[in-house]
Structure 1
Amino acid sequence: MQRAAGGAPQSHPLFGGALSGVLPHSIVDTSELREIPDNQEVFAHKHTDQSLIVELVEYQAQVSDQDAARYHFEDIAGSNKASEPGAFQVTGVVPLPKSDLSLSDCSSAWMLTGTQCVSKFNEEARNTVTLHLSLLRLPQFSTDVLISFNDPQSISPASSSAASAGTHREPWTVQDFQALVKSLTLHDPGLFG
């Protein structure tokens, strides 16, 4: 985790400073390596195959709050080509108390945990990834904020990720992910148009 003098976690600007949040240690801003869509901030761990994504997506008014995290998880599974039977599974969905969040504008917040069997770069080899997904709903801005933490559990020997699979030095934890979710702060509502 980034620390300011005195050891307190330091907030990191997101989306040009319109949002901010506490990011874990050993981050690489993926936009410095490849093109990232404007609605995403993507960070990779320097030494593991873990990643964190903050994404702004269209608010899904037709989906109830308690089903919205699952809806987005299944959408991500489709994008990851993990939508066939058995390729993804939700293991839990719980509400997050708004009192625990810095983003007080959200109408509701949810945490989902699940797994997906995904391939990297359209490879044949598939890796099992635990996906921690937080959903912060902002209907007044027609936006759902998704924060996802991809934590590989098993890497296929045929995957391009296999070379780094044995080098898990200080991997991120669920607590690191939760620190980002809880610290996410809105500074400029103009971000949402």
Structure 2
Amino acid sequence: MSGYRSTPLFGGALYCDLPEKFADVSKLRQVPDNQEVYIDKDGFTSIIFDITERVGPAGGGLETDGRALTTHLEELVGDDADTVKVWNTTETQFTHLDEEIPAYTLIATQTTPKSERSSSTPDFTALILTLVRLEKESTDVLITINVPHIQGEYDEDEVDLALGKQGELIGDAVEYAAKIWGTFEVKDWNLFKEI
């Protein structure tokens, strides 16, 4: 496992620790202003921070926030929602955010139909999606870790989420997510007024 480095996001308004082996995609291609995208230099995993308008009615609670999480997942996968399976959803606590700020994480997989697979198309992509609900700022922060599983690039016998077997790639991604939850900090709350 690689080391981590404290990484400024959105011009330093946010900070969190990311794996050292991840590169800032904006140095390679244009990224929307409301996103920060990092990709594994040695693999296919990506980490995306997305600042979006808050989804759903005012107020919170598990039902409202759960619907918001589902809405964001559906927007991510688009028309392919029928290829997605959600394995679990949990409330998430960020070390450096007020504990009153609701956050949730889900683990899902999106399977590529066999008829659409090629040598470079993933058999499936695991998604670790964390949603932070900033009601006062009318903002949802999405942190998505995409983990494509391409045939020959992972040990198929090690992955069976129904049996609780995550395999190395998903295990690493869960560790990245936990590191983000423990180090994510808002340094400048004005960011959410600008985007």
TM-score range, shorter chain: 0.7 to 0.9
RMSD: 2.6
Q: Give the 3-state SS of the residue equivalent to 2:136 in structure 1.
A: helix
Per-residue CA shift, 1:138-182, capped at 9, x if unaligned?
A: 0111100000111122x26xxxxx8xx47xxx9643112211133
Q: Give the 3-state SS of the residue equivalent to 1:175 in structure 2.
A: helix
Specify every segment of 5 or more residues in structure 2 that has no aligned partner in the other structure, as ranges: 58-62, 155-167
Within the candidate set 77, 91, 94, 1:95 is matched to 91
CA distance in structure 1 between the aligned counterparts of 2:40 and 2:22, rounded to whole angstroms: 5
- Counterpart of 1:56 in structure 2 is 51
- Counterpart of 2:148 in structure 1 is 152
Per-residue CA shift, 1:100-133, capped at 9, x if unaligned?
A: 43122762010100011369xxx87442100001
For 1:102, the aligned partner's letter is: H
Higher helix share: 2
Matched, 1:67 2:67: yes
Matched, 1:76 2:72: no
CA distance in structure 1 between the aligned counterparts of 2:137 and 2:129, rounded to whole angstroms: 20
What TM-score do you get using the length of structure 1 for normalisation? 0.77
Matched, 1:113 2:111: no
CA distance in structure 2 between the aligned counterparts of 1:185 and 1:13, rounded to whole angstroms: 10
Matched, 1:28 2:26: no
CA distance in structure 1 between the aligned counterparts of 2:22 and 2:85, rounded to whole angstroms: 28
1:82 shift after superposition:
2.4
CA distance in structure 2 between the aligned counterparts of 1:49 and 1:31, rounded to whole angstroms: 16
For 2:69, the aligned partner's letter is: A
Query: Is the CA contact 1:105–1:138 (under 8 Å) kept in the aligned structure 2?
Result: no
Percent of aligned positions with the same letter in both sequences?
33
Per-residue CA shift, 1:46-86, capped at 9, x if unaligned?
A: 010000001101101337013322221111010xx523x2x
